[in-house]
Structure 1
């Protein structure tokens, strides 16, 4: 069975000796909340949209929506929220999870499986929050080996990417010890499988102990409306400050997610599309992850959402509405467009002369192709002579193509305004 690999000092993934653009959807609560019939429908739709990776939490997601299903990996009572007994495993849970993964693989998806979400690990923001509720689910340190062996036994022959941490910060030494133990144990049992960390939103630092251990970087620009620059600032940070490895924005704002911290408002199609393009052209070119509010928690009509704690997101629509949000098609179009133009690695270029950082620019090696993302219409001024390029503007709403007026003066180029209403990508190819 072929698998995704990362070559030394590379910014992209490869599979079967070809570039692999990681286009993931977020379905954290798959193993606990989704019926097999729903799973079949979901996978078929995402496949038609061009997705090739599904991100799933192996253990129950702490903020999954309510469910009538009764699938749990460990013994627990009828309390709410569930408190697990870290003794023996519920084999039925792991057999079913395995079957769901096999279904995804048969349809051509890769798996990105989160091993230990932060609420299962001491001294993270989530475990501290739950300790105040007297409902702590911290996994005993001595149980980690047994759990990792079960994970390896259940999933490793399917060649998943192992996402060792979920939404985590690293404020405590014991937090690092937990994740180091899990990562090292999995590396010993499954040495050829890729590992990474899913870190807390807007976090820009990975502890030094993990840099050589992980194969690529995941950051999340997150769901805070007060930080709209995070998609490109975090990409730039990991691109410039860390050893060369693939970078992915693994959790940009989810479509129709309520703003975090109980702030009124939601992210819509434009917002999630903006986050994707800004990430890709700022250093995080290995791929991108989409998310829809109502999908990650697999919400159903009449069921509770969340626990009333955490970042305080507003309620979602049910999954069968959320799965049809239009932003998913925009993410599929990104992959299609990059394939169409034969674009693999993208190198950020700091040549935009406009008085904003929101216009992002990147090129292929050798600069035979250049992309510029323009979120709001304006004349784009570039500190480079682009007279040798064929220049077109693609509307990200209609996907219509516009031939712009271009002026080159004093070795600087101005690409004049287009006629579209929202964001565009300017595509330049050397003649």
Structure 2
């Protein structure tokens, strides 16, 4: 059973520390065959993932599929398709049997009036009076697995009508499943949560997203969220996805380095309850010679197939982040940018609950810290190759200067007594 830690920064599972490491598989219930699901669970488990994020209803930008899994009979939201939910339930049983937790999105924004997506896709909006039947079915199908219910998906809150949908869903579901944890998945580069919805939430998501024009988003959004909504665990639930095209039809794709950087700067900024990985080709479950919906919203470039995407190396990097924190017995992190003397916020400094300092250096340079490290041992980890070097440094007037490290790309400096 998942609960909130006493420190209000992290999660517990059966009273033990739980670092939320999720993979994004929004289209699982509509696009994945049983054999594909078996392989997917196997691979993500060995990579260290412990949570899967899934959209309960069909994802608006899922890739085309020959499968016919529809939640409503004849697309009528008043007629629940029991077979759809029974199949989804069986998929959840398999995931739970492999040790995964589930983060299930209840209402993606295209199903709710007044959101950025429903303004494009008006024929997908659910009538308000069908919510009781739908939420009841969600509870009957999934609550036995004690999932984390993600009330909203990629949403903004521009109208009172929009907010009323999400408050209705949260209030109804929380009454039916009070032991589950609740959060929202808000749109990229967005930090606002309405007060009457916030009251139902146990922990918070933000998404730094896929816009390449401002690379500060993983940490700047975290800082804003912590200032505005203190005392709830925080997770970047949608950093940039590996090999996904930049948003807004901008030319370029996110690399392994990009997605790794997003993870480390998010967690070291204080969003330390966990992190979510995503891969182009996985979230939409793309297959060779099938079309990809890119006509709406962010306008992403075509993905590679799910088979190719399962081999992307960034997933192993995310598993390593979780393993490294566990091996160092780090259960929470507090951002300590006040210790950084370099004129940048892209280098991130954090202090762990056990007194260890972590410094993430995305690009090779000397690092100056307002910290006397003479009583500490310093090691530099090459995050791409997992090589470890003893860190060369000098102390001047109580401050520490870390020499340029011997590796090619980003590193994590571990400072411990």
TM-score category (smaller protein): over 0.9
SS of residue paired to 2:104: strand
Match of residue 349, structure 1, among 317, 336, 340: 336
Partner of 2:215 in structure 1?
228
Deviation at 1:89, TM superposition (A): 0.9
- Cα RMSD of the aligned pairs, angstroms, is 0.9
**1:125 matched residue in structure 2:** 116
Give unpaired runs (5+ residues) of structure 2. none
Give the Cα–Cα distance (whole angstroms) in 1 for the partners of residues 64 and 154 of structure 2.
Answer: 21
Q: Show the counterpart of 1:79.
A: none
Which segment is superposed worse, 351-360 or 232-241? 232-241
CA distance in 1, matches of 2:39, 2:317: 20
Q: Secondary structure at the match of 1:288?
A: strand
Q: Counterpart in 2 of 1:81?
A: none
1:405 is displaced (CA, Å) by 1.4
The match for 1:219 is 206
CA distance in 1 between counterparts of 2:374 and 2:222 reads: 29
Note if 1:362 corresponds to 2:350.
Answer: yes
Structure 1 stretches of 5 or more lacking a match? 77-83
Counterparts of 1:95 and 1:144 in 2: how far apart (Å)? 19
CA distance in 1, matches of 2:12, 2:78: 39
Give the structure-1-normalised TM-score: 0.95
Residue 211 of structure 1, CA deviation: 2.4
Residue 90 of structure 1, aligned match among 76, 81, 90: 81
Equivalent in the alignment of 1:210? 197
- Indicate conservation of the 8 Å contact 1:65/1:303, yes or no: yes
Provide, for residues 4-58 of structure 1, a one-character-per-residue CA deviation record: whole Å limited to 9, x for no partner.
1114551000011110000000000000000000000000000000000000000
SS at match of 2:280: coil
1:5 is paired with a residue of what secondary structure?
strand
Matched, 1:74 2:61: no
Tell me the distance in 2 between the aligned counterparts of 1:176 and 1:309. Answer: 22
1:271 aligns with 2:258: yes
- Match status 1:301 vs 2:288: yes
8 Å CA contact 2:246, 2:252 repeated in 1: yes
Partner secondary structure for residue 378 of structure 2: strand
| Conservation of the 8 A alpha-carbon contact between 2:3 and 2:15 | no
Given that residues 239 and 276 in structure 2 are in contact (C-alpha distance below 8 angstroms), is that contact kept between their aligned partners in structure 1?
Answer: yes
From 11, 14, 18, the equivalent of 2:12 is 14
Find the aligned partners of 1:314 and 1:256 in 2 and give their Cα distance. Answer: 10
**Quick one: which of 87, 95, 113 aligns to 2:104?**
113
Decide which of 399, 403, 408 is 2:386's aligned counterpart: 399
2: CA distance between counterparts of 1:296 and 1:192? 28
Q: Give the drift of 1:168.
A: 0.2
Query: 1:365: Cα distance to partner?
Result: 2.8
Partner of 2:377: 390
Match of 1:194 in 2: 181
How far off its partner does 1:307 sit? 4.5
> Does the 8 Å CA contact 1:9/1:245 hold for their aligned counterparts?
no
1:376 is aligned, of 351, 355, 363, to 363
Q: Which residue of 2 aligns with 1:102?
A: 93
Deviation, 1:239, is 1.8
Contact 2:78 2:133 in 1 (8 A): no
User: Contact between 1:9 and 1:243, CA under 8 Å: does it hold in 2?
Assistant: no
* Equivalent pairs, count: 416
1:166-206 CA-to-partner distances (Å, cap 9, x unmatched) read 00000010010000000000110001100000000010221
Q: 1:250 — aligned with what?
A: 237
2-side partners of 1:360 and 1:210: how far apart?
32
Report the Cα distance in structure 2 between the residues aligned to 1:411 and 1:236, rounded to whole angstroms. Answer: 28
- 1:241-290: CA deviation from partner (whole Å, max 9, x where unpaired): 21211100000000001000100000010000000000000010000000
Name the CA distance, whole Å, in 2 between partners of 1:54 and 1:404: 37
